[in-house]
Amino acid sequence: MLIRWEKEQDYYLVYVHQDMLGDLLVTRVWGQTGTQYGGIKHTLVHSEAEAAILVDDVRHIQESRGYHKVLETQSLNQIPADLQATMQDELAFQNG
């Protein structure tokens, strides 16, 4: 699952996925669109239920900060073409 929120030039992205060892991770990426400002945080979770709680907490925080959801998808290949170029640097962790 991948969810992206935006506010003006800022973005916040949450990606729930498995790593190469099969562990379930919630990856959070944030920053300013078009810049290198931002950060990344990986959180190991023990179940999909735990991941859902963490994602819901993030959703609540971002919406309370004025962010609005612009994307929610179950897989990376479902990202619309117009957002793929914008999100290329944000998803760089996926390639490395």
Q: pLDDT at position 85, please?
A: 62
Locate the domains of the chain by residue range: 2-91
- CATH hierarchy code of domain 2-91: 2.20.140.10
Sheet of 24-32: strands edge to edge? 38-45, 24-32, 10-18, 2-7, 68-73
Instruction: State the pTM of this model.
Output: 0.79
Could you report the per-residue pLDDT of 2-53, keeping only the tens digit for each? Answer: 999 999 999 999 999 998 999 999 999 999 987 888 999 999 999 999 999 9
